Amino acid sequence: MEKIVIKTPGIISEILVGESWESVTSMLPERGVVIITDDNVLRLYGDKFPKVPVIAVSHGESSKKLGVIEYLAEQLLLQGVDRSGFILAVGGGVVCDIAGFLASIYMRGIRCGYISTSLLSQVDASTGGKNGVNLGDTKNMLGVIRQPEFVICDTSMLITLSDQEYLSGLAELIKTAVIGDYELFDLIEQNFTKIMAREKDLLTALIARSVKFKAYVVTEDELETGLRRILNFGHTYGHAIEMHMFFKHGFAVASGMEIATEFSFEKGYISSVEKTRIINLLNKFGLLNYHNIPDDQIDRLILHDKKKTGAGINFIFTEGIGKAMDKKVTVGEVTDFYKRFRNKKL
């Protein structure tokens, strides 16, 4: 087990990679605990949950909306949860997102912790304190930044994931390697068979590297005013693809990374050799799917991106494997490049 600490004003958040999820009982307060999970996770692990009230939502992106938050808040009231209460999220990125968002606003804020059950959540969503819901077809438009007290990343839970869910998380692991960890990229390239076999010790090591990098970035820039923006590599195009094409998050981000890598090459920021390595790795794991967003829709979706300010957008380019750069470009440049990229694929 490896403990990684994020220190931000007001709270110390501990991420425990390789810890058994059942050890959570010792980390919880004696009273006022409520578990939030989804129907899939409840079916798989519910019989081993701590003996506290459980509220389950439907699995998937459809639960990331204000109506679900309102429902959950009403359930907390019915359970008698007050300001001393504690929310334990048991699930993947969606569950951690909505539970963290709810914890931040219920009675102006109560404590929370996560048991992260998916690869996507373990390498990305559960670390860093971003919590939010979608507004229509705009991704994560309503949200807060609030750190959980702890996150347990038990890699033995990844065995129960579907292949699509597992690979979706792998895309975010590759993203971390591209923006900040050359050695991690090498390890992923060299261990295709073991990664596909979900070898526990290797996954624990890879996830720990990813979490360490994100913990460093979040500690330096919790509120995303500078350095933390690099974590959005692939997400400007990825969120648009996700909302229009209904891809799983990681597959959409993988396609976004491919486009961002090609955009970086066109700008002269990355060599042809490294561009090919990044795209080949995404292809090797079967992460790149066909997408075709019409002109009017890509214009609309990019205009709604949270990273847009005025006529510009903070876009993340790669300067080579392990290096990323935040550069302001016009919205028109971003949408025009998508259209050129798409037309080449037709």
The predicted-structure confidence for 251-302, as pLDDT tens digits, reads as follows: 999 999 999 999 999 999 999 999 999 999 999 999 999 999 999 999 999 9
Contact 337, 331 (CB under 8 A): no
Q: Is the same domain home to 114 and 168?
A: no
Report the C-alpha dihedral over residues 319, 175, 249, 220, rounded to 10 degrees: -90
Whether residue 133 is found in the same domain as residue 234? no
Residue finishing a domain among 160, 188, 221: 160
Q: What is the CATH number of the domain that holds 152?
A: 3.40.50.1970
Q: Looking at the structure, do residues 146 and 56 belong to the same domain, yes or no?
A: yes
CB of 313 within 8 A of CB of 334? yes
Percentage of the residues of the chain whose pLDDT score is greater than 70 = 100
pLDDT band at 305 (very low <50, low <70, confident <90, very high): confident
Q: What is the pTM of this model?
A: 0.94
| In the block, residue with structure tokens 């807060």 | 144
219 and 196 assigned to the same domain? yes
Is there a single domain that holds both residue 173 and residue 127?
A: no
Q: Are residues 95 and 155 in the same domain?
A: yes
Strands of 10-161, DSSP E: 11-17, 33-38, 54-57, 86-91, 111-116, 130-135, 138-145, 150-153
What is the number of structural domains in the chain?
A: 2
Same domain, yes or no, for 205 and 111? no
- Indicate if the pLDDT at residue 110 is higher than 90: yes
In a shared domain, residues 340 and 256: yes
* Residue 244 amino acid letter: H
Instruction: Indicate the residue among 106, 127, 160 that finishes a domain.
Output: 160
Nearest partner of 301 among 140, 131, 143, 139, judged by Cα = 139
- Rounded to whole angstroms, how far apart are CA atoms 38 and 89? 9
Answer yes or no: do 261 and 152 share one domain: no
Return the CATH number at 186. Answer: 1.20.1090.10
Q: Tell me: do 194 and 98 sit in the same domain.
A: no
The answer on 324 and 207 residing in a single domain is yes
The last residue of a domain, from among 139, 160, 181: 160
Helix, strand, coil percentages (3-state) for the chain, rounded to 5, are 55, 20, 25
Cβ(108)–Cβ(136) below 8 Å: no
> What's the pLDDT band for 188 if we cut at 50, 70, 90?
very high
Residue 345's pLDDT band, with cuts at 50, 70 and 90, is: confident
Domain coverage including residue 37: 2-160
